[in-house]
Amino acid sequence: MEQGPIVTVLHSDSVPGADLMAPVAGRAEVRYTTASGLADAVRGADILFVYDFSTRAVPGAWHAADRLSWLHMGSTGVDPVMFPELRESEVMVTNTRGVFDTAIAEYVLGQILGFAKDLAGSLRLQQQHEWRHRESERIAGASVLIVGTGTIGRAIARLLRAAGMTVRAVGRQARTTDPDFGAVGTDLHAELPAADYVVAVAPLTPQTRAMFDARAFAAMKPHARFVNVGRGELVVTDDLLAALNTGSIAGAALDVVDPEPLPTRHPLWDLPNVRITPHNSGDFIGWRTEIVRAFTENFDKWIAGRPLDNVVDKELGYVPG
The DSSP code for 140 is: T
d(CA 317, CA 321): 12
For the annotated catalytic residues, the residue numbers are 231, 260, 279
Task: Give the type of residue at 286.
Answer: G
Cα-Cα end-to-end distance for the chain: 42
Closest CA to 101 of 153, 148, 163: 153
| CA torsion through residues 228, 229, 230, 232, sign | positive
d(CA 96, CA 52): 13
Q: What are the C-alpha distances in Å from 185 to residues 38, 192, 299, 300, 311?
A: 42, 11, 37, 39, 25
Crossing angle between the packed helical segments 151-162 and 101-116, to the nearest 10 degrees: 40
d(CA 181, CA 169): 6
Q: Phi first, then psi: what are they for 7, rounded to 5°?
A: -115, 120
Residues pairing with 7 in the sheet:
30, 47
Q: Are 108 and 155 in contact (CB under 8 A)?
A: no
SS3 190: helix
Residues pairing with 254 in the sheet:
228, 276
